[in-house]
Structure 1
Amino acid sequence: MTALLDCIDLALAPTGSADPVLQHVHLSIGPGWTAIVGPNGAGKSTLLRGLAGLLAPRAGQIRLEGRDLAAMTSRERAVRIAWLAQQAEAGGDLTVRDVVMLGRLPQQGLFGAASAQDHAVVAQAMSDTECADWADRRLVDLSGGERQRALLARALAVQAPVLLLDEPTTHLDAPHQVALVRLMRQLGASRTVVSVLHDLGLALAADRLVVLAHGQVRAVGRRDDPAVHAALREVFGGAIRIERLGDEWLALPDLRLTR
């Protein structure tokens, strides 16, 4: 599998921080759905922001399809990478349809008019995220879960080959979390999807997992990889256990008093 995203001896620091959170990261991410997991402070969101081109490497390099990401123009990155932030904006008077249409700007250009294809893509993105019923409501008037689905639709509308999602299940109820997992699996068949996830149960539905701890990659592998399971137990201090249920894997709190 040809990797779309490559991190080469990468060091990254959050905005405003003098010290890198991530150090000496070597990582290749190809087509499919990859979940980035790890304890608080591991550097998950920092890594994702670096992959989006929002943080300049302190050392090393990030490559997108063999090209240095830092050397690309913002337009080139916007066409190739769609991004959903963990704390996305919620203000303004734009309707859901208008917000999702913003995802078409990289293809249209700043002064381009929306085409029939743009409207069709927007309609499909809203259908995929189940937010079409309130397309004419203002984003600011939506609940947290509704807003999250609208912002996800905007990211999908970009139709970029790389989709980066930071905690995309925030505010979503259980049925919509399941729907999102199914959607990410579907999208992974034709593009590179990378998501930071707090919920290990959802992350274990991904094609591959990247386990981070203390700014280092501890394991990379498929969801059924014993080395990934061992790394998860280790980085979470033995507080979880991984069990199989049919074709799926579950992460459960280990509440035994002795281990």
Structure 2
Amino acid sequence: MAVVGPSGAGKSTLMALLLGFLDADRGVAEVPGVVSWCPQEPQLVSTTVRENLRLGDPEADDERLREALRDAQLGAWTERLDVVVGTGGAAVSGGEAQRLAMARALLRADHASLVLLDEPTAHLDEPTAAALRQRLRERLAGRTVVHVTHRLDEAAEADLLIEVRDGNVRVRKREAV
């Protein structure tokens, strides 16, 4: 499903609720035991690519790490597992940091029943974003995916569209998108 709406409408609050960071004021939000999350602002630690990725799955071997990198459109990084990304990811571009965070989330998604993607293509050019979305559809097929985006073309690809606006939530199925 895609979640759209203007800045300040509550999309991040919805994500925080789904992550269990906030409690619902009304109703019930049931959060699964394992959630995979790719945040809008990637959080990388000053260690190697390998160790940053293993935050998603500590048991992942190098081949699974390479597969996740390829899926996240970082195929050129498959032989850079020992590269140190620097404090806060200072040694990588914004798009590279976003895709490293996506690769980590994909590793976690192998064990999760809910995948949350907060603006995962914000720092990417359109061809890279399109290739990433295609690979995500293939890799995450059958899972519940919540994709927050400002890109209407991305939202149009979702089975369900949730529009958050002026404190209201409106849900539409793909046919009406």
TM over 0.5: yes
Alignment of 1:82 with 2:25, yes or no, is: no
Deviations along 1:222-248, one digit per CA (max 9) or x if unpaired, are: 1x31xx4xxxxxxxxxxxxxxxxxxxx
Amino acid at match of 2:117: L
In structure 1, the residue corresponding to 2:57 is in which secondary structure?
helix
1:47 corresponds in structure 2 to 14
1:211 corresponds in structure 2 to 163
Report which structure shows greater RCO (CA 8 Å, sep ≥6). Answer: 2
Higher-Rg member (1/2):
1
Deviations along 1:176-218, one digit per CA (max 9) or x if unpaired, are: 1101221232234221111100111221122221112112112
More strand by share: 1
Alignment of 1:93 with 2:46, yes or no, is: yes
CA contact (8 A) 1:35 1:210 kept: yes
Match of 2:102 among 152, 169, 173: 152
Q: Cα gap change, 1:132/1:180 in structure 2, threshold over 3 Å: closer, same or farther?
A: closer
Task: Give 5+ residue unaligned stretches, structure 1.
Answer: 1-33, 64-68, 70-75, 106-113, 229-259
Deviations along 1:15-38, one digit per CA (max 9) or x if unpaired, are: xxxxxxxxxxxxxxxxxxx11011
Match of 2:57 among 94, 99, 104: 104
Q: What TM-score comes out, normalization by structure 1 length?
A: 0.60
Identity %: 40
CA contact (8 A) 2:42 2:97 kept: no
Q: Cα gap change, 1:87/1:45 in structure 2, threshold over 3 Å: closer, same or farther?
A: same
Quote how far apart the aligned CAs of 1:128 are. 0.6
Aligned-residue Cα RMSD (Å) equals 1.9
Match of 1:199 among 151, 162, 165: 151
Q: What TM-score comes out, normalization by structure 2 length?
A: 0.85
C-alpha separation between the residues in 1 aligned to 2:171 and 2:23?
A: 24
Task: Give 5+ residue unaligned stretches, structure 2.
Answer: none
Quote how far apart the aligned CAs of 1:49 are. 1.6
Quote how far apart the aligned CAs of 1:175 are. 1.5
C-alpha separation between the residues in 2 aligned to 1:161 and 1:122?
A: 20
In structure 2, the residue corresponding to 1:154 is in which secondary structure?
helix
CA contact (8 A) 2:36 2:116 kept: yes
